[in-house]
A and B are shown apart, each in its own frame.
Chain A
Amino acid sequence: MSAQAQSGQTALARILSSKFWSRRTLRQREELIAYLLVSPWVIGFLVFIVGPMLTSLGLSFTETDLFTLEFVGIENYTKLLSFDTTRTLFWTTLYNTAYYVFLSIPLTIGVGFFIAVLLNQNISGQPTYRIVYYLPAVIPGIATSLLWLWLFQPEFGLINWALSLVGIEGPRWLFDRSTAKMALVLMSVWGAGSNMLIFLAGLQGIPTELYEAATIDGAGIWRRFRNITIPMISPTLFFVVVTQIIWSSQVFTNVYVMTEGKGGPANATLMMVLYLYQVAFRQYRMGYASAYAWIFFLILLTFTLLLFRSSKAWVYYETEIGGQRS
């Protein structure tokens, strides 16, 4: 009883003591400052992300051209996702984008990884190679697009000339619906250097002791690659795959510049974001475009979540190495 009273007293004393109060207010003040400092991001998040996203969802159930607004229910969605392909271009754009993403990602990742592995073999002149391979990733999309438009030019372009050297008659690339998407994919491989850099950082984070121990145990090059390099690089690979899917599905500048904003020939290069731009800012069908943007977002979100789900099966996280990127 007296012990209780005593502890009650000390607690009271502590509350009343000025030291406690000053510490408390200092802490509160600091917390207030912290909120103040993050407030730019919070405001930006609410005004430029949350608000617009909700507005966009609302707009997707209307038809609006900035001046009039009419509620149409789920009509935009049913029209977009209709299986009657004469009524909707959604499936065409989905196919084109998927074609581009699923061909360009393995290629850019494969090439980037291959170069990174070569550069990681204690090669002299590594910094120079790094600059050379990374350079295309620094060049503005507009310049890259104009340059490759010229390279793919059917009659005088450098690529068809190179093909003619080995006896192949080059296709009409961007002017032929069967090769136009492939041209965009090939062009994306030129920028594989950005993946190379990330993989190289990942490879350099693998402790050399692992390789030494494996060598002593008699593991050859292939075994070491298979059992050390691959699992240890898998977090980096996972990261690259996720960001690449998100970035490359938003392909816009190249297609816009190379096809004069049309996505031709015969919609063969009509990518999702290009179509979104056309519907929203050429035809001013903002409601339809909002529905389209939401479907685009949900597809990407599903893919990202599936990848995260699957990562448990193939991404190897070693706690000690977990923070290697930092």
Chain B
Amino acid sequence: MSGAAIGIGTARASVKRSQRAQSILIHTVLIAGGIIVMIPLAWMLSTSLKPPHQITKFPPIWIPDPFVWSNYYRAVTIFPVSFVVFVRNSMYMSLMITLGTVLSNAIVAFAFARLTFRGSRVLFIIVLSTMMLPQQVTMIPLFILFSKFGWINTYNPLIVPHFFANAYFVFLLRQFYTTIPRELDDAARIDGCGVIGLFIRILLPLSKPALGITAIFAFSWAWNEFLGPLIYLSRMETFPLAIALSFLRAAHGVLWSELMVVSFIAMLPPVLLFFVAQKHYIQGIVITGVKG
């Protein structure tokens, strides 16, 4: 009997030992992978601070000696137009798109989540199927339409469509609204709340996290937007940051320090947003299953 007990004890110990060995192995793999993922970013920062002769050193130098902070000043003053203009353009575009996205989708998703109307199911299926539509099919007629409006070299073609809801965010917000208990609706109705009151007083305040996710995603995507601005904006004063950077690449393809500096600056807003709101960010991706 005592022999059996000992046997169980050693078996348990060996299970524990193999579990620990397994977890060490997993950590090793994950850390190695994490380092590989981070190296390019470290290299970006390192390059952005190097004096010119250290950039083309082979084997590479990881820690710049000395740190050339003036690279940052030189990189942002290399453009014929002030760098502030690009940042301002990007900010304006991203904030307006965020505003339009949050407003329109909050409303449309509410109707799909809470109101019964004829054709709502069919309409919602159409909404979802537009997610699969590549925007390239509509690109050319929209360009012709917007140029007839005289909207070339303005931000209207990039901003206005976002005020008309978008399949992805309708889906995201609808999914979130449906998690809010319907009993709240009934209670509000009994207290004399109309449909609009229900939306403004009950659902909106309870959906702050989802609206936050929507705003963060909309802002990050707008900030990263490339093809749209490339088509509609041709004057340098109107460039957002992304297009200005591609211009710099075409004009000074080998100024690696400067290119890394501006790349670093361009990635800051979405990356900072991600760090600040990473819990919501991940929740948003989990809700919809679509990457941010």
A146 and B256 CA atoms in complex are apart in Å by 9
Q: Which residues of B contact A143 (CB under 8 A)?
A: 245, 263-264, 266-267
Interface size classification for chain B: 35 or more
A161 and B59 CA atoms in complex are apart in Å by 7
Q: How many A-B residue pairs have CB under 8 A?
A: 275
A52 within 8 A of B: yes
Q: When the two chains form their complex, are residues B37 and A135 in contact, meaning their CB atoms are under 8 A apart?
A: yes
Q: Which of B9-17, B63-71, B77-85, B281-289 contacts A (4 or more CB under 8 A)?
A: B281-289
Q: When the two chains form their complex, are residues A49 and B282 in contact, meaning their CB atoms are under 8 A apart?
A: no
Q: Measured between C-beta atoms, what is the minimum distance from B17 to chain A in Å?
A: 16
A135 and B123 CA atoms in complex are apart in Å by 36
B138 within 8 A of A: yes
A53 within 8 A of B: yes
- Contact (A253, B227) CB under 8 Å given A41-B108, A326-B287: yes
Segment 262-285 of B: residues with Cβ below 8 Å from A? 262-264, 266-267, 270-271, 274-275, 278, 282, 285
Q: When the two chains form their complex, are residues B138 and A48 in contact, meaning their CB atoms are under 8 A apart?
A: yes
- Contact (A151, B282) CB under 8 Å given A45-B126, A140-B266, A142-B245: no
Interface size classification for chain A: 35 or more
Residue among B137, B289, B292 making CB contact with A137, cutoff 8 Å:
B292
Residue among A133, A161, A280, A281 making CB contact with B37, cutoff 8 Å:
A133
Interface string of B144-158 (1 = CB under 8 A from A): 110100000000000
Which secondary structure dominates chain A's binding surface?
A: helix
A138 within 8 A of B: yes
Segment 54-87 of A: residues with Cβ below 8 Å from B? 55-56, 59, 66
Q: Which residues of B contact A273 (CB under 8 A)?
A: 136, 227
- Contact (A146, B138) CB under 8 Å given A135-B271, A138-B220, A151-B40: no
Q: When the two chains form their complex, are residues B40 and A194 in contact, meaning their CB atoms are under 8 A apart?
A: no
Q: When the two chains form their complex, are residues A280 and B139 in contact, meaning their CB atoms are under 8 A apart?
A: yes
Which secondary structure dominates chain B's binding surface?
A: helix
A296 and B135 CA atoms in complex are apart in Å by 11
Q: When the two chains form their complex, are residues A53 and B138 in contact, meaning their CB atoms are under 8 A apart?
A: yes
Q: When the two chains form their complex, are residues B278 and A131 in contact, meaning their CB atoms are under 8 A apart?
A: yes
Chain A residues close to B by CB (< 8 Å): 30-31, 33-35, 37-38, 40-45, 47-49, 51-53, 55-56, 59, 66, 115, 118-119, 121, 123-125, 129-143, 146-151, 153, 155-156, 158, 161, 190, 193-195, 197-198, 201, 236, 239-240, 242-243, 246, 249-250, 252-253, 256-257, 260-261, 273, 276-277, 280-281, 286, 289-290, 293-294, 296-297, 300-301, 304, 325-326
A-B contact pairs, 10 of them (CB 8 A): A30-B115, A41-B165, A48-B164, A59-B140, A133-B34, A147-B263, A148-B40, A193-B37, A293-B140, A296-B136
